[in-house]
Amino acid sequence: MAVMFGSGLSNQTGAAIGSLAFPVLGPLGVVAVRQYVAALALVAVGRPRLRAFTWRQWWPVLLLAVVFGTMNLTLYTAIDRIGLGLAVTLEFLGPLTVALAASRRRLDAGCAVLAAAGVVVLMRPRPSTDYAGLALGLVAACCWASYILLNRLVGQRVPGAQGAAAAACVSALTFLPIGAVVALRHPPTAGAVLCAVAAGVLSSAVPYLADLLTLRSVPPQTFGLFMSVNPVLAALVGRLVLGQTLGAPEWAAIGAVVAANAVSLTAR
């Protein structure tokens, strides 16, 4: 439990620290650095034998790389526009949808309605509503759902963590020219780079290694249930680190999404 809580807290704290570099590097620059750090961490763990991959193994790895980069980019851009708590809550709809999609139980249908009600509250029209930011959060959710399905496929076709490591490498290589352009157009400061690197370590390396350790002794259902606290952790970290406050309707919407996931998993 301590490792799972630490993993979630590390993930959200890393995202908050990374957002501190947005004024200098922008979300694109921070995501580029995060991809580099993630690749280094996953390669160290997975040690992929790239030359031994067949095309049957390569194509889901390449798709996973595209989804991985797009997921992080849309999430960080959403964080920049609508705040950490709301962005992570919307992104969390991805794994929740995957969990509910294959079910035919009435209880899960009720959970889907509850989560949808939370989304309606988050996206209700207001003078200050940033629809682009909300849309990016939903794109991140679609990417996370695709990430789960592709990871499952890659895990079946590529041994160990080699597939995830290879996807991280491809994603990092894709972001190399992007990072170079960002650095030329917006010369980075030491503080901004440190924040971006911290985001990579805390939001990629630490959670990945913690999840590997946790899943050796914790059932997947328990693990998935505990993941549902991430929107709450994101909202709290956003308040404490970034000073992003949420009103009662937003907290109620976050609670609805978290409750839908918790009820669905505990009833299985």
> How does DSSP assign 180-222, residue by residue?
HHHHHHSPPPHHHHHHHHHHHIIIIIHHHHHHHHHTTTS-HHH
Residue burial 19-50, b: 16+ Cβ < 10 Å; e: rest: bbbbebbbbbbbbbbbbbbbbbbbbebbebee
Structure tokens at 264: 């669905």
Q: Could you tell me the pTM of the whole model?
A: 0.88
- Burial of 64 from C-beta contacts in 10 A (0-12 / 13-18 / 19+): buried
CA–CA gap between residue 239 and residue 12 (Å, rounded): 12
Average pLDDT over residues 53-60: 91
The arithmetic mean of pLDDT across residues 232-256, rounded, is 89
Give 164-221 pLDDT, tens digit per residue. 889 989 999 999 998 899 888 888 899 999 999 999 899 888 887 787 677 667 766 6
